[in-house]
A and B are shown apart, each in its own frame.
Chain A
Amino acid sequence: MMAFENPEIASGDLPSATAPAWQALDPRFIKRLLLNAALIVSIVLISLLVVQLGFGTLFGDQVIPPFFGWLYLLPVLLAVALFGWPFLSVPRQGFVVRDKDILFKSGVLWRNVTAVPFNRVQHVEKNSTPLDRHCQLANLKIFTAGGSGGDLKINGLSADVAEQLRAFILSKVGAAEEPDLPE
């Protein structure tokens, strides 16, 4: 009987290299999440200012309720959470590509490791938002049967690694490789 083997493969040398246990996400992913956090906090802050100044100008300061000032705590709390979270979550995420499957770990409080065998992959999707592209990052979604969305989502890969991974997984699935679409 033939022995079953499933060696690890490093993302930097796909498809044949052997790898250390967990591959970390791209360090630029933290910068991307911080930019995202800055955007959200700014939007909340600007909205509050617009409401206060707009209403104050149109109807006079007496229409602004006295507790309104406390609402400015919201962007402060949001900033603490959103700027702090990437430093906790990103180092705890990682992936391992093996010959027959891919593993992804995530979670700060609830730690999760998901494994997807390549022979169960239906299709692979690579996408990137403008912020991702600004940081030269891309996200990978791996779909299996019966799932309602992306069954395995790996965000924060460098664009090159994401493309290598996509091509490698598709070669394992046996699907025809499509030309890379312009971003």
Chain B
Amino acid sequence: MTVETLTWRRTSPLAIVFFIGRILEHIAKNLTQTLAPVAAFLIAWEGNLVTKVAIAATAFAVIVSTVAFLRYWYFGYRISDQAIVIRDGVIKKTRLDLKFDRIQAINSEQNVIFRLFGLLTVKFDTAGSSGEEGYLPAIRTSLASELKTMLKGHHSEDASQLAGEGVLAPDDPAPRAVLRRSVGEIVRYGLSSNQAFIYLAFLAPFSQPIADRIEGLVDKQAILDVASSAAMFGLGQGAAIGIGLFIGIFIFVKTISVIGAVLRYHGYDLVADKRVLRAKGGLLTRHENSIGFAKIQTVNLNQGLILRLFRRYTLRARQAASSQRNRRRCFVIPIALPDELPGLAELLFRREFGGLDLDPASPSYRPISLLYFKSRLMVAGVIPAALAMVLAFPMLGWASLWVLAWVPASGLVFWGRYRRLGVLVTRDGLALRSGFIGYRLTAHLFRKVQRVSVTQSPLQRRKDMATLRLYLASGTVRVPYQDLEYARQLRDYVLFKAESSTQAWH
């Protein structure tokens, strides 16, 4: 039976909740445009403020609910054994045809309401091949499991084909637990992450108008009084107030980050089978994400200042991305312990990356040429400082010598960056270490490289050095200041690995 002969199916009416969430998300992203009429109404209509807010809130709720209902009403899907077809939209109608062999993974989300009714939302991961995102909101968990089984069936057809070619072992064992994270570990991740800034970014469009409004409401004389009394306290107290404010903001931001991390990753559970890595977690909304091992292009390891204190790492597996938006999407292992790194390296690269050491402090990382530090210091430190001093000298006289303080300051930064830079080249892949206070590590297999370039700046030409760039479907890895001959040899070796590989790169 072809998909066209099937009747359109409708999801549960609770999908309205999902659509309300989508509309609110859209409003948050386009805040100024969507809320402009409401703001205009509030300002233009004379009357009691409470009445105005009540009418605006009611109108807003009615409009959002109506639009959500219409979106639910016009949303439909068909499932055949080959494809899923989704129709969506009230005025602008879209139809999305998702063939099972194009779907990389099925991810799911289950909020508190859906959990009560045994429903969930599935999202079809087709990253790298389409900008469209397919989803089915509020479907029965049994249907989601059925879809996953169907996808698995399609993938195992591919796998059996690969097994026939000797690429994969034919057996497909049951999923095994890889790691589980306690609340304490998730709190550590929250403390280290900057998730709060994401939430604050949503509030940012509100904050300026609110601040303007408050400024207008508060008596200006009162502000002057406060300012003059603050001036009386002197500089010492001023600095104390500044530090206190900074600490207060820091604690506030970190609290939001920790809450965000617990909401997203509570009960984090990572399981793996032969083909797929799957993560489950979330306090109110349960998320289930997965990534096929074959789809992984690069693995990033991050260790910022706070994670260094905790001796923990965050890992991200990136797959092919067709746009900048997709490039930010990745599979996150929020927190990993040092002794788990060797196992995770083996798992993520399916034992294909022999000799990979994910410990960024490992001595196996080869430092790059000291010329990197010297050139950076000259270009961004000495030359701009000297120019600024010459320009400022007629106005400031000898005081312009202070500009030269930029040289040691920038020197410290570039020295820190130089000390972190290191490269590990094995038979199968490359890992690049970078960072300033913390560490960032990017590892990939040579056979996944899309193109390679060797570039020489005028200074590098004089010193017979070059910068090697390895372009992957998930981003670029730049290996600076290598001996020219070595860079060329490495380029040719990478080309050899990419060109002679019989395995698919994605």
Please list the residues of chain A having a beta carbon within 8 angstroms of any beta carbon in chain B. 4, 6, 100-101, 107, 109-120, 144-148, 151-152
10 contacts between A and B (CB under 8 A): A100-B495, A112-B456, A115-B491, A117-B451, A117-B499, A144-B473, A145-B473, A146-B450, A151-B450, A151-B471
Q: How far is the CA of A183 from the CA of B473 in the complex (A)?
A: 33
> A113 touching B475 by the CB < 8 A rule?
no
Among candidates B451, B461, B500, residue contacting A151 with C-beta atoms closer than 8 Å: B451
| Smallest beta-carbon distance B459→chain A, Å | 10
Chain B residues, Cβ within 8 Å of A119? 498-499, 501
Among candidates B128, B323, B457, B475, residue contacting A109 with C-beta atoms closer than 8 Å: B457
| Chain B residue total in the interface (Cβ 8 A) | 32
> B500 touching A110 by the CB < 8 A rule?
no
Q: Indicate whether B324 reaches chain A with its CB closer than 8 angstroms.
A: yes
Q: Which interface residue of A6, A110, A115 has the most chain B CB atoms within 10 A? A: A115
| Smallest beta-carbon distance A9→chain B, Å | 14
Q: How far is the CA of A113 from the CA of B467 in the complex (A)?
A: 11
Chain B residues, Cβ within 8 Å of A148? 323-324
> A101 touching B499 by the CB < 8 A rule?
yes
Chain A residues, Cβ within 8 Å of B505? 120, 145
> B498 touching A117 by the CB < 8 A rule?
yes
> B451 touching A144 by the CB < 8 A rule?
yes
> A120 touching B461 by the CB < 8 A rule?
no
Q: How far is the CA of A116 from the CA of B500 in the complex (A)?
A: 13
Chain A residues, Cβ within 8 Å of B461? 111
Chain B residues, Cβ within 8 Å of A116? 450-451
Among candidates B457, B472, B495, residue contacting A146 with C-beta atoms closer than 8 Å: B472
Nearest CB in chain B to that of A109: its residue:
B458
Among candidates B450, B491, B501, residue contacting A147 with C-beta atoms closer than 8 Å: B450
Bitwise interface map of B from 430 to 459 toward A, beta carbon under 8 Å scored 1, else 0: 000000000000000000011111111110
Chain A residues, Cβ within 8 Å of B451? 114-117, 120, 144, 151-152
> B499 touching A146 by the CB < 8 A rule?
no
Q: Indicate whether B506 reaches chain A with its CB closer than 8 angstroms.
A: yes
Chain B residues, Cβ within 8 Å of A100? 495, 499
CB-CB under 8 A for A147 and B471, given A114-B452, A115-B491, A117-B451: yes
Chain B residues, Cβ within 8 Å of A110? 455-458
Nearest CB in chain B to that of A146: its residue:
B473
> A114 touching B450 by the CB < 8 A rule?
no
Q: How far is the CA of A117 from the CA of B500 in the complex (A)?
A: 10
CB-CB under 8 A for A111 and B506, given A120-B450, A145-B320, A147-B450: no
Bitwise interface map of B from 94 to 138 toward A, beta carbon under 8 Å scored 1, else 0: 000000000000000000000000000000000010000000000
Bitwise interface map of B from 455 to 482 toward A, beta carbon under 8 Å scored 1, else 0: 1111001000000000111110000000
Q: A110-B458, A112-B456, A147-B450 are in contact. List 7 more A-B contacts (CB 8 A).
A: A101-B495, A111-B461, A113-B455, A120-B451, A145-B473, A146-B321, A146-B473
| Smallest beta-carbon distance A6→chain B, Å | 7
Q: How far is the CA of A144 from the CA of B128 in the complex (A)?
A: 12
Chain B residues, Cβ within 8 Å of A6? 495-496, 499
Q: How far is the CA of A118 from the CA of B324 in the complex (A)?
A: 24
| Smallest beta-carbon distance B475→chain A, Å | 7
Q: Indicate whether B322 reaches chain A with its CB closer than 8 angstroms.
A: yes
> A113 touching B453 by the CB < 8 A rule?
yes
| Smallest beta-carbon distance B383→chain A, Å | 16
| Smallest beta-carbon distance A140→chain B, Å | 14
> B453 touching A114 by the CB < 8 A rule?
yes
Chain A residues, Cβ within 8 Å of B323? 148
Q: Which interface residue of B320, B323, B453, B498 has the most chain A CB atoms within 10 A? A: B453
> B475 touching A146 by the CB < 8 A rule?
yes
| Smallest beta-carbon distance B492→chain A, Å | 8
| Smallest beta-carbon distance B474→chain A, Å | 6
Chain B residues, Cβ within 8 Å of A113? 453-455, 491
Chain A residues, Cβ within 8 Å of B471? 144, 146-147, 151
Among candidates A112, A118, A145, A146, residue contacting B453 with C-beta atoms closer than 8 Å: A112
Nearest CB in chain A to that of B494: its residue:
A115
Chain B residues, Cβ within 8 Å of A118? 499
Q: How far is the CA of A72 from the CA of B324 in the complex (A)?
A: 42
Nearest CB in chain B to that of A111: its residue:
B456
| Smallest beta-carbon distance A142→chain B, Å | 9
| Smallest beta-carbon distance A33→chain B, Å | 23
Chain A residues, Cβ within 8 Å of B454? 112-113
Nearest CB in chain A to that of B452: its residue:
A115
Nearest CB in chain A to that of B318: its residue:
A146
Bitwise interface map of B from 147 to 174 toward A, beta carbon under 8 Å scored 1, else 0: 0000000000000000000000000000
CB-CB under 8 A for A112 and B455, given A145-B320, A146-B473, A148-B324: yes
Nearest CB in chain B to that of A2: its residue:
B500
Q: How far is the CA of A17 from the CA of B224 in the complex (A)?
A: 84
Q: How far is the CA of A151 from the CA of B456 in the complex (A)?
A: 19
Chain A residues, Cβ within 8 Å of B450? 116-117, 120, 144-147, 151
| Smallest beta-carbon distance B75→chain A, Å | 32
Q: Which interface residue of A4, A119, A120, A152 has the most chain B CB atoms within 10 A? A: A120
The 3 A-B pairs with the shortest beta carbon distances in the complex, nearest first, are: A146-B473, A145-B473, A144-B450
Chain B residues, Cβ within 8 Å of A117? 450-451, 495, 498-499
> B128 touching A145 by the CB < 8 A rule?
yes
Q: Which interface residue of B449, B450, B496 has the most chain A CB atoms within 10 A? A: B450
Q: How far is the CA of A144 from the CA of B501 in the complex (A)?
A: 16
Chain B residues, Cβ within 8 Å of A112? 453-456
Q: Which interface residue of B451, B454, B472 has the most chain A CB atoms within 10 A? A: B451
| Smallest beta-carbon distance A5→chain B, Å | 10
Q: How far is the CA of A113 from the CA of B468 in the complex (A)?
A: 10
Nearest CB in chain A to that of B319: its residue:
A146
Q: How far is the CA of A46 from the CA of B323 in the complex (A)?
A: 41
| Smallest beta-carbon distance A94→chain B, Å | 14
Chain B residues, Cβ within 8 Å of A101? 495, 499
Nearest CB in chain A to that of B323: its residue:
A148
Q: How far is the CA of A52 from the CA of B18 in the complex (A)?
A: 62
Chain A residues, Cβ within 8 Å of B320? 145-146
